[in-house]
Amino acid sequence: MQIRLKKYVILAAGLGILSLSCSGDDEPTYEPPAPPAPVGEVVGQAKIWTTTGTGSKLLGRQDDVDIYDSTEGENPSITVDASQQYQEIEGFGAALTGSSAYVINRMDANQKNALLTDLFDPETGIGLSYLRLTMGASDFSLSDFTYNDVPQGQQDPDLSEFSIAEDEKHVIPVLKDILQISSDVGIMASPWSAPAWMKTSQSLYGGSLEERWYDTYADYFVKYIDAYASQGIEVNAVTPQNEPLHEAGYPTMKMEAAAQASFIKNSLGPTFEEQGINTKIIAYDHNFDEPGYPIAVLSDEEAYEYVDGVAFHAYAGNVSAMGEVHEAFPDKGLYFTEVSGGEWATGFAENLKWNMRNILIGTTKNWSKTALFWNLALNESFGPTNNGCEDCRGVVTVSGSGEIDKNVEYYSLAHFSKFIRPGAHRISSTEFDSSTGLQSVAFQNTDGSLVLVVLNDSGSTKSFSVINEEESFSSSLEANSVQTIVWE
């Protein structure tokens, strides 16, 4: 909250009541008092970035705070311990859907470069580090297609008509531009549907993969990975099917847990092994509310050998499902791969807090290696769409003239992606007392730097302290706001 005093400035700094900083000629701005400093000598400083629920600060750099060689203090505190390390982080980002790529690719060269630099450069931008691609069309593509479409009633068991030509129009050019900016961006690919001729429905809409085409469909994945490799693009992971329990009037395909286990153990896994494909196979790729599905796949001993991890979406259920799967199979990776904001929820503060609780702090504290939103970019009409969601929001909105609106998802991601880089590990951190409204998660980067992200989910400013070994520092965070703190 900002309180603007038009004509008079009341100074009570000596009493510690308030401090005032001037944001204009006659409009001093209230700043909350600094938290009391710990006792001891200063041994370093921590850097701070804040986004407030009011939007008054948007990834705003704050004054550094001193680190003291003491752990004494009166604030609510937590302790971080970098000697206890958990999952390795692979990245934070969104989906470069066909629609997102189209919206970005039609910008003029300078606008496009400025946007992609802002999104993917970790120094001058927010350093998004992971992308999800759709293998063929989704509900956010310009049309329906797969990479092996043939006329109705025909088949192509040798995949002689396989082609990624549709992706070469927008997805691949934009992806190459991104990789020029940040070459280590991770890539996961997910199909919404197999080619219609492989399916029980003989349509891209709904139906299941016929078992007789399992081996052929595995070859389809290999051709996709190889085709992207020929463009200089490494696909790090695939899921056998996006949202395998969902069928709709856009490209979708049902794949029950038993069928997915069978496809992985009998076709996809062995084919990758025979062809020397190192791309990870990630199971499930659907909502929190059905953890029994990935548990069933991993309980199949033969499928288990080929599966690297499990992916989740957040349209139903609770993030604790990820922790449930981790408890059952602690040696398998977990990935959060999709959620979308939209016009059904437009409040900045509430969205910021929800994203932190569930998608960023929530998934990483439940062992996720990634946290990905849905469309990277959409136009002012929430599209182009392909018979799916009509009011989903992109991480950014791009106008017809190339103007950019950075949505709440942008700032939510930024508090993680810019500071927590691929290869970092989540580290041990205690919990704030629930009465404070504070939630947090801590990481250590490969360069040794420590990162703490704190959410103040309460309605008032909170001061707190962070203890690391024999040192500590204090900070203050406005109501309904997020803070990222980085220190050596």
Tell me 198's DSSP state.
Answer: G
338 a catalytic residue: yes
Q: From CA 177, how far away is CA 83, in angstroms rounded?
A: 38
From the candidates 243, 290, 409, 478, which is the catalytic residue?
243
230 Cβ neighbours under 8 A, 6+ residues apart: none
Phi, psi of 477 (to 5 degrees): -135, 125
Q: Any idea how long the chain is?
A: 488
The pair of three-digit structure tokens given for residue 384, joined into one six-digit string: 């182009």
Report yes or no: 96 and 130 within 8 Å, Cβ to Cβ: no
The pair of three-digit structure tokens given for residue 4, joined into one six-digit string: 């603007």
Tell me 201's DSSP state.
Answer: T
Q: From CA 149, how far away is CA 235, in angstroms rounded?
A: 22
- The vertex-23 CA angle with 476 and 45, nearest 5°, equals 35
Q: Which residues of 204-223 are buried (b: 16+ CB within 10 A; e: fewer)?
A: bbbbbbbeebbbbbbbbbbb
From the candidates 90, 166, 290, 338, which is the catalytic residue?
338
Picking from 413, 344, 348, 342, the residue whose alpha carbon sits closest to that of residue 53 is: 348
Q: From CA 450, how far away is CA 434, in angstroms rounded?
A: 24
**DSSP secondary structure letters along 258-325:** HHHHHHIIIIIHHHHHHHT---EEEEEEEETT-THHHHHHHHSHHHHTT--EEEEE-SSS-THHHHHH
Q: From CA 88, how far away is CA 425, in angstroms rounded?
A: 4
Q: From CA 339, how far away is CA 60, in angstroms rounded?
A: 25
469 Cβ neighbours under 8 A, 6+ residues apart: none
27 a catalytic residue: no
Paired residues of 286 in beta bridges: 312
Catalytic residues: 243, 338
